[in-house]
Structures are given as C-alpha cells and as structure tokens.
Amino acid sequence: MSLYELLRGPLLWVAFGVFFGGMLVRVVLFFQLSLQKDKPIYRFFSWKWLWLSIFHWIVPLNETAKKNPVVTLVGFVFHICLIVTPLFLLAHGVLWYESWEISWWSLPESVADYMTLIAIGSGLFLGIRRMVSPHVRIVTTAADYLLLAVTLAPFVTGYLAYHQYFDYHTVLILHMFFGELMLVVIPFTKLSHFLMFFFSRAVTGMEFGRRSAPSW
C-alpha cells in the first residue's frame, strides 16, 4: 500500500474516528460538568437568551468587537474561510462522491482559491498580532503558534497542490497528512471551540438571562 493509499484509506478513517469520537466525548463531558456546577441554570432554560447570546457573538455586535473592530473582522473572516472552504471545496466534494457517493453544492474554484488565500493571510495576521501585541503575547505559548501552524498547513499545501507548485505528488501527500493531523488534534486542543463555543455561549446566555442581564 502506497503512502497516498494509506492516507486516503485507513489513516483517513482513523482521523475521522478520532475527530467525531473526541468531539462527542467533549460535548458529553461539558454537559456533565455543567449539570454539576450550573444546575440552577437549567431550571431557567430559555431559547430566547440562548440564541441571543450565540447570535451576538457570532455576528460582531458585542462590546469586544466595538473595542477591536479590525481584529474582530479579521477573526470573523478567518473562521468563515476556515470552515466553509474545506467543506465546500470542489476537489473535496469529488473525493466524497468517489468514496461514498455523497455529493453537495461546491464553491466555484476561483472563490475557493481566494478564500484559501484569505484564510492564510488572516491567520498570519493573527499570528503576528500574538507576537507584537503585549497583552496578547503575555498569554501566548509556543503551543498556540504550533496550533496555528497546524491549522494553516492544510490551506498552504492545498493552495500549492491546486496550482501544482513544486512536486505535485509530494505536496498532495503533505496536504492530506496535515488535513488529517488537524482533524486528530481538534478534540484535544483549543480548535474544539468551533463546536464547543455554541454550548458555552448557550449556557452563559441562560445564566445572564436568568439575571435579566445581557451576556455581551
């Protein structure tokens, strides 16, 4: 079995298994801990406050956004490109169809190309900000830079592979490796916030809603 076949076959299944299994465990543990420490909140469950809290943090309308509009905008765009691009990339859609005959709408290739560059550029901006901004640098560790590198690596290698820069086969192998590595590390790192954010904001929203005080 070649390295390409290994990455597209067994290792891909392992990566998906770790990703979905790990995220399921994270969600279960979150609610177990929340029910132990925040039990009164659930007696005042409110869809209104739950969705208001999530909405005001997804859409840049909170006080943090007003204080740091540029950083907020870059972070907002970064997260959109980070999630939307790989999910709706035509090449990924083709692989899904070839493997499991599953298909969905894909981004135009030129749009996906620009979104890839935006993801890389905004990620570098956020990384440089961690280096030069004193109040961010003081809470930044080497692990944060490594995690950012792991996050950007699939986009960099994907862009290089699409445009066939360097040796295509080697770059494609690296792209698959970094993509699967990212899936594996998500449940165990800060990257899990792509999902856990919604649960934590929901609980926070209900807590502040119980006090009739906005949580944003």
What CATH number labels 3-210?
Answer: 1.20.950
Q: Given this model, what pLDDT does residue 65 score? A: 65
Task: Indicate the pLDDT class of residue 212, thresholds 50, 70 and 90.
Answer: low
Question: Higher model confidence: residue 50 or residue 160?
Answer: 160
Residue type, 101: E
For residues 60-67, average pLDDT: 65
Residues 184, 30 contacting (CB under 8 angstroms): no
| Proportion of the chain in helix, strand, coil states, percent, rounded to 5 | 80, 0, 20
Neighbours of 53 (CB within 10 A): 26
Whole-number average pLDDT of the chain:
85
pLDDT band at 214 (very low <50, low <70, confident <90, very high): low
Contact (CB, 8 A) for 120 and 152: yes
List the chain domain ranges. Answer: 3-210
